[in-house]
Structure 1
Amino acid sequence: MAKDRVESKYFRVAPGIELHYLEKGEGRPLVFIPGLTFSGEIFKAQLEYFSGNYRVIAIDPRGQGLSAKTVDGNDYMTHGRDLAALMDGLGLDGAVLVGWSTGNLEVWSYIRQFGKEKLKAAVTIDMSPLPLSADPTWWTEGTMEELSEVATQYLTSPEGSRAFFSDYATGVMIQHEMEPAELEYLLDISGRTPYWVCKALFCDAIFSNFLETAREVGAGMPSLMFIAEHWAGVARPFVEQQLPGYEIQVMGGHLMFYEYPEKWNGLLEEFLNRLP
């Protein structure tokens, strides 16, 4: 078990399918799940900060980072089953799941399929459980036209995928003006996911509906949602009305925990300290 340094490990979740994960520390399991195309490396600041009191694990979901790339299983129900296999294999009882972006869908997928018995709390970062809706007042990822353009015009080649994530990183993820080296760092992490895996996951995410599961989470266990500032006017009322029971924190951009780790870690620590 990792103690004083971050360890890079693999675990077989299905025949021929290994997930890569980073681990450091001992104690209650704190499991971080990244968003579309990203790896657990994006949580480096959280691995270092929380490992003094927790067993911190940051995973690369199937198709992302150093985990297996497969032609099947690039959907969030499968990702939920992969997460369950990893948690069972590592003995992660009493865990706190922390999902970012589409990692939220993995949190809710796990709970829909396997329940809350092995969890202490759920933390979700900046994505609705219903990413697409005809209701313009609801928190979604965009209009059908906008999302169709991403799927059919960008995520059809490595160059298109990189262009999309470059625009998304500078326009949505990060609030400060990045130096070229920082943008390249983020795009290199993202680029480890093949464009065809990215497209499959993107389309599955957009048509996912975990609203009822997310409501059950808010009603049945400690739960926290972080929301980016740029769409708090829509997202906060949505969470307050549709997901009663969730604590809400508004800060930063989509990649808030990376850009503002000291503030974000402090808010999460306050939430964790209140858990029984």
Structure 2
Amino acid sequence: MAYLELPDGVPLYYEDRGSGPAVLLIHGWTMNSTFWGQNAGPLSETNRVITVDLRGHGLSGKTDEGHTLDQYARDVRDLLVHLGVRDVCMVGWSMGTAVILAYVRQFGCDLMRSAAFVDQSPRFLDGEDWDFPLMGGYSTTDLAVFTQGMRYARPSVVKPFIAACFAETPPAEVVDAVYAETTKTATSAALSVWYDMAYADLRPVLQSLSVPTLLMYGTRSKIFPGRLDDWLAEQLPQAQVARFDNSGHAPFSEEPDRFNEILNVFLRS
């Protein structure tokens, strides 16, 4: 077990394994590095694989401070500098992609070799000029209902959200196990970064992501339905699309072998 003490004293948990091209796996909202369990090991056979629990998540320090996309991105940069990584592929699942874009907004593509997005939109809220909001339509009223549910009946809103992450509805025991991991993130921290992410509009950052970018999207995603990957490919300077026909929001878990193979090819290209 390895920890980095961040500048504000928060311990950041990470694992660093393998050798070769460096790849950093960044998890989603209220999740943690254990969700890369089917990927980190196989990828580390030919790559240097770094996983991290973002502050307040998993085994990292619990704090009420710093739960914004920008701070998470600064924490990621502190970790890369600490490890001496100068040429990394950042892979972000869901909120992890938003962290990558927050990184680019602050630091450009410094220390980055490439990036991979795993089923995430640059804007959650709906609008007249936007076809790819969360759940296909996410208003400020939807946001208020969800966050009130988080405060007062967390399982009642998070468990259905977890179930919706998969193309096929998982057994109740699987949803319960995932939910148990999400409770390692305090409700206050989870809400802080959810609000930050919900009101963010990261579309203007896309043109600044000048490194090769792989878009790994489930065609059966209920979280971000529609051809969001095609739209992103038109906005990004160097993008390629990998679709997962048997996956929803979590292709790294639903089709892990194919996910690992495609990512490995991208890391070598």
The TM-score, its normalising length taken from structure 2, stands at: 0.91
- Aligned to 1:20, the other structure's residue is in SS state strand
Q: 1:163 to 1:232 in 2, by over 3 A?
A: closer
Match among 151, 168, 174 for residue 166 of structure 2: 174
1:57-93, Cα deviation, whole Å (9 max, x unpaired):
1111011111112122011111111111111011111
Higher relative contact order (CA 8 A, sep 6+): 2
> In the alignment, which residue of structure 1 is the partner of 2:217?
227
Match among 51, 56, 61 for residue 58 of structure 1: 51
Q: 1:178 to 1:143 in 2, by over 3 A?
A: closer
Cα drift, residue 133 of structure 1: 3.8
Where structure 1 has 5 or more consecutive residues not aligned to the other structure, the ranges are: 1-7
Cα drift, residue 192 of structure 1: 0.6
Where structure 2 has 5 or more consecutive residues not aligned to the other structure, the ranges are: none
Identity between Structure 1 and Structure 2 (%): 24
CA distance in 2, matches of 1:179, 1:164: 17
> In the alignment, which residue of structure 2 is the partner of 1:196?
188
1:266 partner amino acid: E
CA distance in 1, matches of 2:52, 2:208: 25
> In the alignment, which residue of structure 2 is the partner of 1:48?
41
CA distance in 1, matches of 2:227, 2:149: 26
The answer to whether the aligner puts 1:256 opposite 2:248 as a matched pair is: no
> In the alignment, which residue of structure 2 is the partner of 1:110?
103
Match among 143, 146, 152 for residue 150 of structure 1: 146
Q: 1:70 to 1:105 in 2, by over 3 A?
A: same
> In the alignment, which residue of structure 2 is the partner of 1:208?
200
> In the alignment, which residue of structure 2 is the partner of 1:132?
125
Cα drift, residue 114 of structure 1: 1.6
Q: Which stretch has the larger CA shift, 95-104 or 220-229? A: 220-229
1:200-256, Cα deviation, whole Å (9 max, x unpaired):
111100111222222221xx2110112221355341342244335321122211111
RMSD (CA atoms): 1.7
- Check whether the contact 2:206–2:236 (CA below 8 A) recurs between aligned residues: yes
Q: Number of paired residues? A: 261
